[in-house]
Structure 1
């Protein structure tokens, strides 16, 4: 498979989904940007404030302890304990015997000082500060040199609390970003529904028109920008309805006009056919036989066109009555099939009575059986069974060549005869039988379709799905099948 073929077969995301995703991604990016900015500014402010406090406090405490270092009774730990500081103070004093280190916290003593900071304060004699990590903890150290006392004073501040607060703030901001993303998706979904509502209305109207409801129109749009679209759509549908009605009237008028001369022609042909034996030769008799069959075919065409025109005009009405469906199927098979055709049915339907239009049920089955006789050598079996959602499935099976997949829907169109349509034989139909069956089924709230026979058997199976309605209490039940 080529790359272009793979691209064509890739499922496409709908416009509404793309709008929703765009809103969600926009909200996510914006919330992440705001969260990172907030976290960065907050971190800088907290650290800057903590550093400023630490520098000021360290300078004050260094001044306070400076005067006590020269005393003979100097106690470094006691002097450090007297200071007011939340940090860990460290005092390093150079004496004649060596360096003395004083601290109150063994964990944050002189060993916790960064060497570069310690060198800058002790050797270079400059005040300095540094943020670094020690044993996995973030620390802030501020150092003040005391050159006259040959000492250095440091304060070490543990920044773990700030890092913990920043971590909590980060989790909160991530949660806020997630909520903002969901809110953005909800807003995108609402906006897409509102923006695409006119397209949904147009789609629903187009589907209704495709199902034959030509009176469907779009309501006037509140948006001035959509009004031209609504107006153009309604004008197009009106023009389409007018043309279809005109074509239907034309077919009806032509059929009516042909009926009278066709009756005269049929009567004349009947007279000739009754005196067939008096014709002078066999060629004349064969010509008469062809004429009789073509006149019959022409007469059937006119009758079918008249019935089709009545469907188009909406002149057909249902005449429902209590019917034993199995008995009706058997009667239709006996009346329409030239050979004996077995009828298999669900035993639960044997004595069941339903409300339906018996004449139309018989017409649908007659058309199925006639189609099987003309194109597949006759029906081999008729079945009746319960279908889903309170329906009955009546099917006519044959052992013919079957129906190709690309023709299983098209054969129910008017004047469609499938792949056999190009052959002109006396027993071929005019292509309206299955179309009429579809119209009758649709009028009863059902549908028809063609499928392959089950279990891989050769042939086709034409199915009529009909909704069932139980008769009212006052309706007289039918006699059961004996």
Structure 2
């Protein structure tokens, strides 16, 4: 039991450690994504950042290319200089060695080997201790003398460094100095080296090849220093280019930013905002033109506001003034309409019915105009209370049932089982839904009308869908315009005023809600009302799709 308990304990500890590690990795990934998101937003929002970064990158590319070209040219120059110096030095040392061989009196093999070592030591010491070179002496390929001397090398680099191609070249033309570039390994480093080959005549022993190896250590160190200097200079130059770009772009971006800030304040209604205009350059011209445009817009807006105020006052005054004579006319029409059965002339009776119907439409239009004037004056207010929209939809559908029956349409409600409770002014919401349902029946061409109710955590939506004529492209943006009609030639059959959808849109906006339209010819149309569940809330999405394609 104790053993199994220990295993279980270790397993639990390992699981906890794995869980903590997973959480740490998840937190790290989330932090990285957030940082990347902030960087992307900063990149998209800052013109100065993009210009400075692009300038620095282009400057870095130019400095890199230029530095590479200069570096390669300097390296080529040092290489050519080293080869030339090596040739002259090897030529002098070869002549010195030949002179010493000619003055030598050695005859035996041992004496000749000792003389070779002495000559190698003397020619190495003749150039001074600061000169780094290696000497190799080996029997020439064409030497047929019976006296064979040992091959000599002065240090770590020996005959293995000399390539077969160089040895063949020396053997083919002994009278000419042969040069070759190669790579050698010295003190654990790979270094380029110049190998110069010549031939000396050894008394009794015949021709021997003499190779001088010059490692380019100093040149490599020089190029390393030059490369470091180029890197440091490139970084400094790139930073300087970036600093210059910051200064230059600031002179351009700052006025543009100020123009953007002034434009935002203008769009917020602060029409007296202007840009500071100094100097005579292009930016000053931009500021002057911007200010002139703002002056013109301010003048036109004030003119339009004056005209709108006059129009609103006119509509309000006319609507109120018409109510008194309209009341009198209504009383007279009601009396005449009530006695129409006693008219001997059927034409007179029919005219009375038409008069009563048109008076109803006139009263509805007058009521809508008064409501519009309240919206324009900012006097509309909400009487908010908790309402289950399923009941409101039911009342609207029941009221529209006689009209739907006359038009040959059926209205079907699709509501969820859960309550669609929302804080609204039920009178206004009922008016919105009534306008939508009546319009759907009128334009549905006798086809079914569907009313969908959707609920989410933050919003409630109602979609009224018909399958009639639909909307042409662009009509969805115009259906809420006052007195707008999709087909001006089509006769009205239900006595609409042309203001229903406009008032509905204003009612939806009072609730911080959305009223949207979708339609296509032959596919019908859909109107969606979306309301926040709590008064004063903000909408981010709707529980129901606007178009059938989103289903």
TM over 0.5: yes
Deviation at 1:112, TM superposition (A): 6.0
Deviation at 1:310, TM superposition (A): 1.0
> Which has the bigger relative contact order, CA under 8 A and spacing at least 6?
1
Counterpart in the other structure of 2:339: 275
Deviation at 1:39, TM superposition (A): 2.5
Give me the whole-angstrom Cα distance separating, in 1, the residues matched to 2:212 and 2:264: 79
Deviation at 1:300, TM superposition (A): 1.6
Q: 1:460 aligns with which of 522, 525, 539?
A: 525
- Aligned length in residues: 439
Equivalent runs, 1:170-249 vs 2, <5 Å = 196-197=256-257, 200-201=260-261, 215=269, 217=271, 219-222=273-276, 224=278, 225=284, 226=287, 228=291, 229-249=293-313
Structure 1 runs not aligned, ≥5 long: 1-13, 209-214, 472-482
Say if 2:455 is the partner of 1:386: yes
* Higher mean C-alpha displacement, 282-291 vs 190-199: 190-199
Deviation at 1:311, TM superposition (A): 0.6
Give me the whole-angstrom Cα distance separating, in 2, the residues matched to 1:418 and 1:87: 99
* Higher mean C-alpha displacement, 35-44 vs 160-169: 160-169
Instruction: Give TM-score scaled by structure 1 length.
Output: 0.70
Deviations 1:434-478 (A, max 9, x none): 11111100110001122359xx9964332210001189xxxxxxx
Say if 2:266 is the partner of 1:266: no
**Cα pair 2:453 2:460 within 8 Å, conserved:** yes
Are the structure 2 counterparts of residues 281 and 250 from structure 1 closer, same or farther at C-alpha, using a change threshold of 3 Å?
same
Q: 2:496 aligns with which of 414, 429, 433?
A: 429
**Cα pair 2:513 2:530 within 8 Å, conserved:** yes
Are the structure 2 counterparts of residues 143 and 36 from structure 1 closer, same or farther at C-alpha, using a change threshold of 3 Å?
same
Say if 2:87 is the partner of 1:33: no
Give me the whole-angstrom Cα distance separating, in 1, the residues matched to 2:435 and 2:196: 105
Q: Secondary structure at the match of 2:518?
A: strand
* Higher mean C-alpha displacement, 49-58 vs 240-249: 49-58
Q: Secondary structure at the match of 1:412?
A: coil
Q: 1:359 aligns with which of 416, 420, 427?
A: 427
Give me the whole-angstrom Cα distance separating, in 1, the residues matched to 2:345 and 2:336: 14
Say if 2:486 is the partner of 1:444: no
Counterpart in the other structure of 1:7: none
**Cα pair 1:372 1:378 within 8 Å, conserved:** no
Equivalent runs, 1:89-168 vs 2, <5 Å = 89=135, 97=143, 104-109=157-162, 111=164, 113=166, 122-123=175-176, 141=194, 154-157=212-215
Counterpart in the other structure of 2:417: 347
Are the structure 2 counterparts of residues 198 and 258 from structure 1 closer, same or farther at C-alpha, using a change threshold of 3 Å?
farther
**Cα pair 2:86 2:214 within 8 Å, conserved:** no
Give me the whole-angstrom Cα distance separating, in 2, the residues matched to 1:400 and 1:35: 69
Give me the whole-angstrom Cα distance separating, in 2, the residues matched to 1:436 and 1:19: 46
Give me the whole-angstrom Cα distance separating, in 1, the residues matched to 2:448 and 2:142: 123
Deviation at 1:341, TM superposition (A): 4.6
Deviations 1:169-191 (A, max 9, x none): 79969x969x97x979x969999
Give me the whole-angstrom Cα distance separating, in 2, the residues matched to 1:118 and 1:284: 138
Structure 2 runs not aligned, ≥5 long: 1-42, 105-114, 185-189, 279-283, 405-409, 537-551
Q: 1:374 aligns with which of 438, 442, 449?
A: 442
Deviation at 1:358, TM superposition (A): 1.7
Counterpart in the other structure of 2:359: 295
**Cα pair 2:180 2:195 within 8 Å, conserved:** no
**Cα pair 2:52 2:242 within 8 Å, conserved:** no
Are the structure 2 counterparts of residues 390 and 464 from structure 1 closer, same or farther at C-alpha, using a change threshold of 3 Å?
same
Are the structure 2 counterparts of residues 320 and 169 from structure 1 closer, same or farther at C-alpha, using a change threshold of 3 Å?
same
Are the structure 2 counterparts of residues 131 and 285 from structure 1 closer, same or farther at C-alpha, using a change threshold of 3 Å?
farther
Q: Secondary structure at the match of 1:451?
A: strand
**Cα pair 1:59 1:144 within 8 Å, conserved:** no
Deviations 1:322-353 (A, max 9, x none): 3233333333433454368544322221xx64
Give me the whole-angstrom Cα distance separating, in 2, the residues matched to 1:36 and 1:317: 71
For the pair shown, which has the larger CA radius of gyration, 1 or 2?
2
**Cα pair 2:137 2:210 within 8 Å, conserved:** yes
Are the structure 2 counterparts of residues 333 and 195 from structure 1 closer, same or farther at C-alpha, using a change threshold of 3 Å?
farther
Are the structure 2 counterparts of residues 283 and 116 from structure 1 closer, same or farther at C-alpha, using a change threshold of 3 Å?
farther
Say if 2:470 is the partner of 1:416: no
Give me the whole-angstrom Cα distance separating, in 1, the residues matched to 2:353 and 2:314: 31
**Cα pair 1:217 1:237 within 8 Å, conserved:** no
**Cα pair 1:325 1:353 within 8 Å, conserved:** yes
Instruction: Give TM-score scaled by structure 2 length.
Output: 0.62
